[in-house]
Amino acid sequence: MPVTETLGQATIDGLAYLGDLAILMGRSLHAIIVAPFQGQRLRGQRVVHQAMSAGVGAIPILSLISFFIGVIMALQSAYELRKLGAIALVARAVAISITRELAPLITAIVVIGRSGSAFAAEIGSMKVNEEIDALETMALDPIQFLVAPKLLAMLLMLPCLTTWADFMGILGGATFGVSVAGFTLGSYIQATLHSIAFRDIVTGLIKSVMFGAVITAVGCQEGLSTGLGAEQVGRSTTSAVVKSIFLVVAVDLVFTLLFYFTTSR
Amino acid sequence: MRPRSSRDESGRQADGGIAIRVRNLRVNYGEHEVLHNIGFDVKAGETIAILGGSGSGKTTLLRSLVGLERPSGGAIWIRGQDLCCISPREMAELRKKFGISFQGGALFGSMTVGENVALPLREHTRLDDSTIEVLVRLKLEEVGLSGYEDYNPAQLSGGMKKRAAIARALTMDPEILFFDEPSAGLDPIIAAGIDDLILKLKRAFGMTIVVVTHELASAFLIADRMVLVDKGNIIAIGTPEEMKANPQPRVRQFLDRVPDPEVSADEGFLDRLTQNLRL
């Protein structure tokens, strides 16, 4: 097959996949926003259950990782800033890199590993065991029943987790600042608050909402398109993780570009 | 595209005691046509067995009847409604009148048996929790599974899973019950128990029952009429007595359990084995 044809086919497949994700998102958002006004109930209990497992359950590991990332960021920036005699800027470097970029991204990656893969595996096994067919024949829309509660939980939990990761990352930076760079806890917090703008946190949170949508859409789409057999469930899970990481980084790039060009003038 | 008038006419006819009407049904998987020009009727209150060997297309036929496969041609009317042309909302309403027991049970692994059976009631009715609880117990009692409400489906044996799936299919008091291979993979005693259960449901509730199976004994016991599917075609329809008397060679082969001739006796056998080889 000529290279142009392969490239063309890959582009068409990629666009078709994005189209499938958009349709899934659209139908889920319809189930969350519009359907409750048409007399169809939103399954609050399932939303809470998902929020607990995808959100609250992620707190311990996310705390640890973002704390470490905070320390690492402080170390890496101190390495260069020390040469310039500007070690006091460590707090600023940590605060900006964590709130604008690292906390949303690390949170997304932790959630992909814990929940994006779980969505694909859960829905994939349901597909293999005819449970999705059973839902349909019981007049229950699988998107309304399975995907919408997951999406709502993720849209609510990702910003919360990201805020928590912001806090833990800065705490990590502060640990380094206080123990090595001559800060007191008070002066570190003051330097942090002085260096970050409200906008930094908000842009991070906006990105985290988008990441939540991407992770849910990819995880559920991969689950719903699982073929027959247990092996396919494994394939869907792997594929969900790889595609989610790629799309989260791509969305991150787009939004960072957008924020850069809309706020730097 | 069929002319509208013929669809309407058939639709009206379907109201007169016909629960399911299938005409010229064709279903494709990609390029491959698996069902060719299938046509039959199921009368209201009748138990029909769709028989056929593995890969004959009988499960695809059942999936088409419940709207899980989209036909590439022909039409299916359920209670007078043409499946091709009804809105998703009408389809949902129609499906509330179905009960389906899938081959593997298809019980939701994340819920207990009781929650599985209660699910259609919780989703489609406004009954309070205690009424739902009583109804769940009643349905489980009907299938001989009382006391298993709090079990996880993974804790049940194959036969119990099928019974639980039947209890779930019965929850909304359906007008039409579909069974996909109800006794496949079960030992003869448990399989006979499932047959008894189907007969009991037929007598007690007068439901229209469609059973897809390859178990001859079971089909002859429960069915009022039988449809024999072979390679995507219907080769015989009739009562169990008519089927027993059917002289067609392929029908006889299936009913008398005669194996296909040895493939190695076939003339093209060696050619097929060696094709595409550079010898």
CB-based contact B249:B242 (threshold 8 Å): no
Q: What sign does the dihedral A147-A148-A153-A154 (CA atoms) show? A: positive
pLDDT of B105: 87
Say if strands B32-43 and B18-29 run parallel, antiparallel, or are unpaired.
Answer: antiparallel
Q: Does A230 touch chain B (CB under 8 A)?
A: no
In a 13 Å sphere around the CA of B53, the CA atoms on its Cβ side amount to: 14
- Among A109-123, A208-222, A245-259, B78-92, the minimum mean pLDDT is found in B78-92
pLDDT of B16: 56
pLDDT of A142: 92
Place of tokens 């590991």: A61
Q: Do B103 and A130 touch (CB under 8 A)?
A: yes
Q: Which residue has the higher pLDDT, B265 or A247?
A: A247
In this structure, chain A runs to a length of 265
Q: What is residue B259's DSSP assignment? A: P
Give the residue ranges of chain B where pLDDT is below 50. Answer: 1-15
Mean pLDDT for the stretch of residues A161-183:
92
Mean pLDDT for the stretch of residues A71-77:
93
CB-based contact B172:B122 (threshold 8 Å): no
Cβ contacts of A138 on chain B, cutoff 8 Å:
95, 119-120, 123
Q: Does A129 touch chain B (CB under 8 A)?
A: yes
Rg (CA), chain B: 21
Residue-number span of the structural domain to which A212 is assigned? 3-263
Domains in chain B: boundaries:
106-173
Q: Does A80 touch chain B (CB under 8 A)?
A: no
Nearest-CA neighbor of A68 among A169, A216, A178? A169
pLDDT of B135: 93
pLDDT of B151: 94
CB-based contact B105:B161 (threshold 8 Å): yes
Place of tokens 């609250």: A56
Calculate how close chain B gets to A2, using CA atoms only, in Å. 25
pLDDT of B266: 66
pLDDT of A85: 82
**CB nearest to B95's CB, from A125, A130, A139:** A139
Q: Do B109 and A131 touch (CB under 8 A)?
A: yes
Please state the domain count of chain A: 1
pLDDT of A172: 94
Query: How confident is the model over A218-246, as pLDDT tens digits?
Result: 999 999 999 888 889 999 999 999 999 99
Chains A and B form CB pairs within 8 A to the count of 47
- Full strand arrangement of the beta sheet holding B73-78: B32-43, B18-29, B73-78, B81-82
Q: Do B106 and A122 touch (CB under 8 A)?
A: no
pLDDT of A35: 86
Mean pLDDT for the stretch of residues A22-49:
88
**CB nearest to A139's CB, from B92, B108, B109:** B92
CB-based contact B179:B214 (threshold 8 Å): no
Mean pLDDT for the stretch of residues A166-182:
91
Nearest-CA neighbor of A233 among A129, A137, A144? A129
Calculate how close chain A gets to B52, using CA atoms only, in Å. 21
* CA distance linking residue A57 with residue A11, whole number of Å: 37
* CA distance linking residue A178 with residue A30, whole number of Å: 49
In chain B, alpha helices (H) = 4-15, 58-65, 88-95, 113-124, 129-142, 158-170, 188-205, 216-222, 240-245, 249-255, 269-274
CB-based contact B98:B174 (threshold 8 Å): yes
Calculate how close chain B gets to A171, using CA atoms only, in Å. 38
Place of tokens 């999936």: B63
Query: How confident is the model over A124-156, as pLDDT tens digits?
Result: 999 999 999 999 999 899 999 999 999 999 999
Query: How confident is the model over B86-129, as pLDDT tens digits?
Result: 888 888 889 988 899 998 889 999 899 999 999 999 988 889 99
Q: Pull the structure tokens for residue B80.
A: 């007078």
Q: Do A140 and B93 touch (CB under 8 A)?
A: no
pLDDT exceeding 70 applies to what percent of chain A? 99
